Structure 1
Amino acid sequence: MPLNIPPAPAAAERSLSAALQSTTVPSPHPLFLNRGALRPVLPLPVHRLAPVLDPAVPATSRLTGWRFLLENGGRAVGAAETMLTADGWAFSHFGEGPYIASTERAVRRAEALTGSYQPRLLSIPELYMLTLWLHTDPAADPAEGAPRADDILVPLAPAPPGITADHPVRVDALLPLLADRLRIAAPAG
């Protein structure tokens, strides 16, 4: 298997476990009412891409959290995210929607690629976009690093107009398109 899924920090896992056991944490969907049946799987570090206005400048990102798919009966029914705070890891929120199935599809397809990768999620909030980021250094610290030119991004569905969802593309090929989209989305100053 070419994917080296890094372990989530123990404190992030503990905060998620506490949220799953809590009766005071709000749930977005009735599927989450029986939280005892939910099992966290596929922990992925979530990085936020810094705005890319010039594709000639190397991309940068920062770790913002860890996202876990929540499985019930062998199928992913939602997600839970933890966030990094000044005091350490804390539960952020439960989620649902199309990114759950899209993440599963992207990971399955990534497992069939040649080469070894460390899967991560890369968020581009200005474009309402989330990608599976296949980092070409499978032994890297999952909290560190930035997208490298030879890394692969798989835009998750739904992707912004003009960007093909579920299609793996190298960072150096997608960055110019992202830069164009971010320039258009940037407020006039």
Structure 2
Amino acid sequence: MLKQISLVFFVLFACYVGVNSRELKHITKELEVNVPACEAWELYRNLGLINIIVPKLTNVQSTQVLKGDGGVGTVAKTTFVPDEAGNSSYTEEFIVIDDQKRVKAAKALEGDCLAFGCSVLIVEFDINEKSQNSCIIKSIISYAVKKEFEAKDPKPTVAVEAITQASKEYLERNN
């Protein structure tokens, strides 16, 4: 059932952004966290992640909210410590925040693989209850590669694994 909901979400969103859903590639990771799903969701549903990633991720220099209060339409920018690839910032807009399904999705506006060959980049976090005191944080990166860059096969570099690991440590430490 959950896979069907996610598939429907991606098909509808792909239509919204003008990409055929078959063109989207997906990278999915799951991480178990020993806190109730409602506690994890409270961190993910608003701007809580922004507050913990700067001290936890060494490649992040700063984060700032450019527009909004954490709800749908909020635009956030992450500035990185410059690296050899020239990655300097990543800007995203929150496009879905579903409190019932505990799903949050953001569409990249600039940076990451959009700078080197992707036409669409969507990062989604799903918080799924495993038991009364544990949950699974599922991260899904969906992206489409521009036809002229398909041979280079660009991939997103969004550090969702590092973000979910940092959130797991934060949640379990403060539970």
| TM-score, normalization by structure 1 | 0.27
| TM-score, normalization by structure 2 | 0.28
Larger Rg: 1
**Bigger share in strand:** 2
- Give the number of the structure with larger relative contact order, counting CA–CA contacts within 8 Å between residues 6 or more apart: 2
**Bigger share in helix:** 2
